[in-house]
Amino acid sequence: MASKIKKSVSESSTDPRSIRSQEALASALLVLLESTPFEQLSIRDIVAEAGIGYTTFFRHHATKEELLDAVAAEQIRCLFQLAVPALDKYDMHAGSTALFTYVHAHRRMWQTLLVGGAAGTVRAEFLRLAREVALQRGDPNAWLPTEIGTLLIVGGTLDLLTWWLRQASPLPIKRMVELHERVVLKPVIDANARKLPQKRKA
C-alpha cells in the first residue's frame, strides 16, 4: 500500500497467466467481430469466448472499448508501416501496392475492423498515426494545410479500402492501386506541391 498513484489497468505484467488472458481476450474479440457488430458484444460474451472469468476482464481493460483499441492499434500499426511510403511522392506506387496487397492477404480481418462497427475507432487511430508522420514531413508553407492533406489521404484511402472489402468480387489489386494513386494520393500531393497563396493570378 505504499504507492497509490495510479491504478492504470495497462500494467501488462510478464506473468504467463496474465499474458494468456490478454491474448485470449484479443483473439476472442477478433473471432466475435466476424459475426457480430462490436456494439452488440457484451463483456460477458467476450470472456465466454475467451474462456476466462468475468472479473478478470476488468483486471486488463476498464471497458470493452479499451480492449478494442488495444487490438485494433496493433493491427493498424502493421498496416501503417506499409502505407507510409505511399505518402512519399516517389515511393507512392510501391507503398500503395504494398497496402492493398497486405489488406487483401488479410481480407477477412480487415473486413471486421473496417466494415463493422469498429470503423470509427480504426479511422481515428489511423489518423493519429498519420498526423505524427505528417508533422515531421509537412511543409508549413504549402498551399494545402498539412492537416487537411493528411485527413484527405487517410480518409480517402480508408473509404476506398472499405468499399473494396465490401465487394463480393473485388476489383484486382492493380486496379485499386491505380484508382488510389490517381484519385486519392495524386490530387493531394499535387496540391501540396503548389505553393503561392500570395501571388495569385488576376
Whole-number minimum distance, CB 184 to its own copies, in Å?
7
In this chain, which of 85, 116, 155, 170 binds its own copies, going by CB under 8 A? 155
SS (H, E, C) the chain: CCCCCCCCCCCCCCCHHHHHHHHHHHHHHHHHHCCCCHHHCCHHHHHHHHCCCHHHHHCCCCCHHHHHHHHHHHHHHHHHHHHHHHHCCCCHHHHHHHHHHHHHHCHHHHHHHHHCCCHHHHHHHHHHHHHHHHHHHCCCCCCCCHHHHHHHHHHHHHHHHHHHHHCCCCCCHHHHHHHHHHHHHHHHHHHHHCCCCCCCCC
CB nearer to DNA: pick between 37 and 53: 53
In this chain, which of 15, 91, 132, 159 binds DNA, going by CB under 7 A? 15
Options 24-32, 84-92, 105-113, 175-183: segment touching its own copies (CB under 8 A): 175-183
In this chain, which of 142, 163, 170, 173 binds its own copies, going by CB under 8 A? 163
Interacting residues toward its own copies by CB under 8 A: 119-120, 144, 147-148, 151-152, 155-156, 159-160, 163, 179, 182-184, 186-188, 190-191, 194, 197, 200, 202
Interacting residues toward DNA by CB under 7 A: 11, 13-18, 20-21, 42-44, 51-56, 58-60, 62-64
